[in-house]
A = this chain, B = another copy of it.
Amino acid sequence: MNKIKLGMVGGGHGSFIGAVHRKAAALDGYYQLTCGAFSSRPSIARETGAALGLAQARVYDSYTDMFRQESARPDAERMQAVAIVTPNHLHAAPAIAAMKKGFHVIVDKPLALTLDEAKKICQVMHETGCELALTHTYAGYPMIKEARHLVQTGKLGRIRKIQVEYPQGWLSSPLENEGNRQASWRTDPACAGAGATGDIGTHAAHLAEYVSGQLISELCADLNTVVSGRRVDDDAAALLRFDGGASGALIASQVAAGEENNIRLRVYGELGGLEWCHRNADTLLLNLHDQPARIYRRGSAYLSPAALNNCRLPPGHPEGFIEAFANIYSSFARRLHTPATERLSSDACALGYDYPSINEGLRGMAFIEAMQASAKSTQKWTAITL
């Protein structure tokens, strides 16, 4: 099987998520990093390329250069897909430019800075026929696939309640004033668009919708800027109503001091509840009403194909964040390797080969905008509208 030749926009030295994308792409052997426009600062771009063992000719000063020059290369060499790992305000332009040159796109979340930008990406995607993957990492965890499977197969009965939370503590102090690059762009409204809501709230909202199969229809949000002087929200909470009749709550905070990245989902139906938390990502708890709870474990033979096809190791040998990330990359590779005419298979989801894409990106942006509108409103409920 030939490896997909991958380019990268962003991800220079000091970037956090760029390295994750590279490791995720490398893990299963489906991709070969071929070229990159790693930084707007040429020296950093070149250093990064060299450290990665890339030929100098494949390290570009800008994504515009990269797309232009790569599209001129012969088939056997040319970049086929590009990973966009820049701050949020630099997602839409390269994504659109890439697709216009025929490159498939992998883009970090949230999809864009605004819902409007996201809609433009959607339009270009449809016009060009290019594919797009959005790295909502948590959807890549095998036990999340199993959770979705258990909901879909009715193990919980009708879903009634959905609780999702993403507590972080790293922004408990004004790190953005202390030269922390990650903190700086993530708290700059011009780069990030939103704070906790966009950075982690979108993950929580996606996870809730992905597993429950219900979409958030209305929400009632309280956004706070806890650290004084900060320019975006760093703490968000919302009451939720879902289109399938469930209610719930979402909490996303970056000032929950002492917390790491403990995204946690609970879904309750008539017959029982599911619980998954990032800290024990290999475990899914099924709490059945009036029965002993079940501990489902990644890698176990009794899991659904959707989960097992996203496992590499037998149970007890832990898999983590990079593996979950790699599951998105690998499913996307599988998609790109499938002839376009055969791509409509409805089995992808049952087999666990689905990945977040443009619809999830649009919903994420609509979620952010509804949260922000609700926070400013004195009315209780605000609808999410695309």
Q: Are B278 and A318 within 8 A (Cβ)? A: yes
Q: Which residue of B lies closest to A52 (CB)?
A: B29
Hey, which chain B residues are within 8 Å of A312, CB to CB? 19-20, 23, 322
Hey, which chain B residues are within 8 Å of A300, CB to CB? 290, 292
A170 CA to B297 CA, complexed, in Å: 14
28 A–B contact pairs at CB < 8 A? A1-B53, A23-B27, A26-B26, A26-B27, A29-B53, A161-B255, A169-B268, A169-B287, A169-B289, A172-B271, A173-B270, A220-B220, A249-B251, A255-B268, A257-B288, A258-B287, A259-B316, A260-B299, A260-B316, A261-B315, A261-B317, A280-B280, A291-B302, A292-B294, A318-B319, A379-B379, A379-B380, A380-B380
Within 8 A of B (CB), among A150-193: 156, 160-161, 163, 165, 167-170, 172-173
Q: Are B302 and A163 within 8 A (Cβ)? A: no
A241 CA to B247 CA, complexed, in Å: 21
- Answer yes or no: A2 CB below 8 A from chain B CBs: yes
A106 CA to B378 CA, complexed, in Å: 42
A278 CA to B297 CA, complexed, in Å: 14
- Answer yes or no: A239 CB below 8 A from chain B CBs: yes
Q: How far is the CB of A182 from chain B (nearest CB, A)?
A: 9
- Answer yes or no: A323 CB below 8 A from chain B CBs: yes
Q: Are A321 and B319 within 8 A (Cβ)? A: yes
Q: How far is the CB of A333 from chain B (nearest CB, A)?
A: 12
Please give the count of copies of this chain that the complex contains.
4
B165, B170, B271, B315: the one contacting A257 at CB < 8 Å is: B271
Q: Are A169 and B318 within 8 A (Cβ)? A: no
- Answer yes or no: A295 CB below 8 A from chain B CBs: yes
Q: Which residue of B lies closest to A26 (CB)?
A: B26
- Answer yes or no: A269 CB below 8 A from chain B CBs: yes
Give 9 new A-B contacts, CB below 8 A, not counting A161-B256, A256-B266, A258-B293. Answer: A1-B53, A29-B52, A156-B257, A160-B257, A170-B314, A253-B268, A259-B287, A278-B317, A293-B294
Q: How far is the CB of A217 from chain B (nearest CB, A)?
A: 13
Q: How far is the CB of A201 from chain B (nearest CB, A)?
A: 14
- Answer yes or no: A51 CB below 8 A from chain B CBs: yes
Chain A: number of interface residues, binned into ranges: 35 or more
Q: How far is the CB of A144 from chain B (nearest CB, A)?
A: 13
Q: Are A295 and B292 within 8 A (Cβ)? A: yes
- Answer yes or no: A358 CB below 8 A from chain B CBs: no
Hey, which chain B residues are within 8 Å of A381, CB to CB? 378
Hey, which chain B residues are within 8 Å of A251, CB to CB? 163, 249
Hey, which chain B residues are within 8 Å of A280, CB to CB? 280
Within 8 A of B (CB), among A13-28: 16, 19-20, 22-23, 26-28
- Answer yes or no: A301 CB below 8 A from chain B CBs: yes
- Answer yes or no: A98 CB below 8 A from chain B CBs: no
- Answer yes or no: A273 CB below 8 A from chain B CBs: yes
A287 CA to B269 CA, complexed, in Å: 25
B237, B257, B293: the one contacting A272 at CB < 8 Å is: B257
Q: Are A297 and B239 within 8 A (Cβ)? A: no
